[in-house]
Chains A and B, each alone.
Chain A
Amino acid sequence: EAGVTQSPTHLIKTRGQQATLRCSPISGHTSVYWYQQALGLGLQFLLWYDEGEERNRGNFPPRFSGRQFPNYSSELNVNALELEDSALYLCASGRRRNEQFFGPGTRLTVL
């Protein structure tokens, strides 16, 4: 069974630009969760998508958004990038109330 995949591995942007990160869940999983892992910090919940809809979001500003496609893959968009957005962005997939399995992450660097 293929695991969760994410692309790109690394992304370098400048302040004010937009970043798009992608996630493909494990086959059969309908939920995608996005988390931010800033350097030296734990993981912070960002967004949850299930069955094509945004179901919940964490304590992040609206410039963090995304969507989920009919094949359950997901995209995270970060607009008006700020220096403090530099972090590892992890997605995890699962089935609603069950275990979550993480992808390898996208390292976003904002210069």
Chain B
Amino acid sequence: GENVEQHPSTLSVQEGDSAVIKCTYSDSASNYFPWYKQELGKRPQLIIDIRSNVGEKKDQRIAVTLNKTAKHFSLHITETQPEDSAVYFCAASRSNNAGNMLTFGGGTRLMVKP
């Protein structure tokens, strides 16, 4: 089955700096890679996703890059703000009509210091 590893497990940055979280996956057939943000006591919130037919996707201050050859993908947050503090999870799946079961990484706790 799929295995997703996520690094670092904790990340502390100064407000305004950039943050990068990296994930690697094992199943070369995986084709869908979402990122979720989970604030303390709240539900995971989908913040951005990418499919294997593109290499990069941006949405305002966040971007995701995908390297299919190396089987890794990364989340980039620019101009970090205190409200970006949360746990971020990457995930991977073989998304098709047979379903979209997500395999998650272990999470990264991001702390943005004002």
Contact = CB atoms under 8 A, between A and B. Distances in A.
Interface stretch (A70-78, A79-87, A93-101): A93-101
B29 to A, nearest CB: 13
A64 interface: no
Contacts of B36: 102
Contact of A96 (B89, B100, B103, B106): B100
Interface residues of B, number: 24
Interface stretch (B14-22, B42-50, B67-75, B78-86): B42-50
The bracket for how many chain A residues form the interface is: 20 to 34
Given A97-B32, A100-B100, 8 more contacts: A4-B43, A56-B98, A56-B101, A58-B101, A97-B96, A99-B46, A103-B43, A104-B42
Interface of A: 4, 31, 33, 35, 41-45, 48, 50, 55-56, 58, 90, 94, 96-105
